[in-house]
Amino acid sequence: MKKLMINRSLSGAFPEGFHEMDRHELIKYFAGDTDRCGIHDENRHVILSVSWSKPGFLGFLTDERSVLNGARLRLKLHLQRYRRLEKLNREIASRPAVGIRFEYQVTGTEFMQYSDLYVFKLGKLIYAVQLVARKECFEESQLLSEEFLRSIAVPA
């Protein structure tokens, strides 16, 4: 398995068929490549991305749930036919993570996508890990995502 270095603080292993996204892909799918990395399997139409940010002046008041709520509002405003499906909780890199599963329609197409979005805090940074996959192959994509999520760790 190949390793994805995440902000020099974390790493995650990714399965065969994926490649590390370059800046052009990150810009195409996420409108920017700053403070973000990801992997992509074009044949399965699966993207796993990780972004990070440092909360501003009142960072000590910022928690995972408030960041997730802000992300949810932005998704609702910008995604076509957005619908939250369920709330999610798990551990990532031995830290508690909160998340949501949602669906939306890809702009200009009839394709529906599902996505899992998790938020967790490590030190002073907030990380967001997102799985994006076509609705019809989401179950298989979740298995691939699970491998990646379980592998995220602070490098030794």
Left if phi > 0, otherwise alpha if psi is -120 to 50, otherwise beta: which for 8? Answer: left
Which domains, and CATH codes, for the chain? 2-151 (3.40.1000.10)
Cα 18 to chain centroid distance, Å, stands at 15
pLDDT per residue rounded down to tens, the chain (156 residues):
899 999 988 999 998 899 999 999 999 998 888 999 999 999 989 999 999 998 876 555 678 888 898 889 889 988 999 999 999 999 999 999 999 999 999 888 888 999 999 999 998 899 999 999 998 889 889 888 999 999 999 876
CB 119 within 8 A of CB 127: yes
Q: What global pTM score does this model have?
A: 0.91
Triad 155, 49, 100: Cα angle to 5°: 110
Place of tokens 């709330």: 87
